[in-house]
Amino acid sequence: MKQVFKKPESLKDVQTHFCPGCHHGTIHRLVAEAMDEFGVQQHTIGVASVGCSVFLYGYFDIDVVESPHGRAAAVATGVKRAKPDSFVFTYQGDGDLAAIGTAEIIHAANRGEDITVIFVNNTTYGMTGGQMAPTTLLGQRTSTSPYGRNKSKDGAPIRMAELLSQLEGVAFSARVAVDSPRNLMDAKKQIKKAFRYQVEGKGFSFIEALSACPTNWGMNPLSANARVGAEMCDYFKPGVYKNVENL
Amino acid sequence: MALIRIDELRCKGCGLCTIACPHKLIVLSDKINHQGYTPAHITLQDKCIGCALCAEMCPDVAIVVFK
């Protein structure tokens, strides 16, 4: 018998701290598989953010720079410029990238830095107790929007994949979901494409991955997973928003 | 002939593998593991086709598949 599915080499064989049903683990695995496929593990430098994603230095078998509070894209710029032969990616949540680090991500994207950004959107600040994020859906109750997000007071959720796709420096921008086997296979394909663009030196590549946060949504893992496919995919439509190869 | 192995110590009982399996062969156990979760296990190993969708969906990389 042949082993047809195993843990990717770029992932350490350790238990993660993620809650049951959290998609961070799945997205970690897809990123590790892409690293294995391109054989870049030995010269990859990951840039971690703040939030639940911060512990990726403990889960990926690569070198990692820890860059809290939204600065990952700026730190990744420095890493890539200092070591242009290395493969550099950032892994950031929505509180980190779309709120605290908006300036950093927009300017790194606009400069067309040759890095890959993995943006995990779970519509809330996971680690700090489920506060409202810029990506929180309208009507969603969080610890700082107990009556639900209100459009007139809080604005509408930010669609980062679309926003960044308008910038000249962006080579690839896509949104994916990992809630079903079909979406997951597509996510795998898009993450590999984003990695290939950096390997080929095409420029800034961006992946927004929709993720569940069962604990802070107050749901069980299966209902939270279903919400990603229903409510989240309805507002944050998965798809490729920019691809320089098609221009 | 296919075989899956679920690491019941690492499984957090989220149940995402149970909805991924096209033949609904995976169920959550009644037993509790050392983490306090009810881990998944496969009921009819003979019927498994080795599609690996359960392993793909598992957020904890707790499933390996042989074919």
Is CATH 3.40.50.880 what the domain over A24-246 is classified as, yes or no? no
Extract the tokens encoding A139. 């009507």
Question: Looking at the partner chain, which of B13, B58, B65 has a beta carbon nearest the beta carbon of A4?
Answer: B65
Extract the tokens encoding B27. 């169920």
Instruction: List pLDDT tens digits, range A146-184.
Output: 999 999 999 999 999 999 999 999 999 999 999 999 999
Full DSSP string of A232-245: IHHHS--EEEEEGG
A149 touches chain B (CB under 8 A): no
Q: Can you tell me the mean pLDDT for A4-32?
A: 96
- Using CB atoms and an 8 Å cut-off, which of residues 197-226 of chain A contact chain B? 214, 221-222, 225
Instruction: List pLDDT tens digits, range A196-240.
Output: 999 999 999 999 999 999 999 999 999 999 999 999 999 999 999
**Across the interface, do B12 and A185 touch by the CB < 8 Å criterion?**
no
Residue % of chain B over a pLDDT of 70? 100
CA distance B58 to chain A (A): 7
* The pLDDT of residue B37 is above 90: yes
Q: Read off the pLDDT band of B1 (50, 70, 90).
A: confident
Q: Which of A101, A89, A99, A152 is nearest to A124 (CA)?
A: A99
At the top level of CATH, the class of B3-66 is: alpha beta
The sheet with strand A116-121 has its strands ordered as A63-66, A44-48, A87-93, A116-121, A204-210, A170-177, A239-243
Of the residues B60, B65, B66, B67, the best mutation for testing chain A's interface (the one with the most A CB atoms within 10 Å of its CB) is: B60
Q: What residues does each domain of chain A span? A: 24-246
Q: Which residues of A touch B15 (CB under 8 A)?
A: 21, 221-222
Chain B residue nearest residue A16, CA to CA: B60
Q: Which residues of A touch B48 (CB under 8 A)?
A: none
State how far the Cα of A36 lies from the Cα of A183, in Å rounded to an integer.
21
Full DSSP string of A63-118: EEEE--TT-HHHHHHHHHHH-TTSEEEEEEEHHIIIIITHHHHHHHHHHT-S-EEE
Instruction: List pLDDT tens digits, range A111-156.
Output: 999 999 999 999 999 999 999 999 999 999 999 999 999 999 999 9
Question: Looking at the partner chain, which of B14, B64, B67 has a beta carbon nearest the beta carbon of A21?
Answer: B14
Q: Can you tell me the mean pLDDT for A46-67?
A: 94
Question: Looking at the partner chain, which of A1, A2, A181 has a beta carbon nearest the beta carbon of B57?
Answer: A181
**Across the interface, do B64 and A24 touch by the CB < 8 Å criterion?**
no
**Across the interface, do B16 and A25 touch by the CB < 8 Å criterion?**
no
Q: Can you tell me the mean pLDDT for B33-57?
A: 95
A23 touches chain B (CB under 8 A): yes
* The pLDDT of residue A247 is above 80: no
Chain B residue nearest residue A219, CA to CA: B14
Q: Are residues A17 and A172 in contact, defined by beta-carbon separation less than 8 angstroms? A: no
Instruction: List pLDDT tens digits, range A70-117.
Output: 999 999 999 999 999 999 999 999 999 999 999 999 999 999 999 999
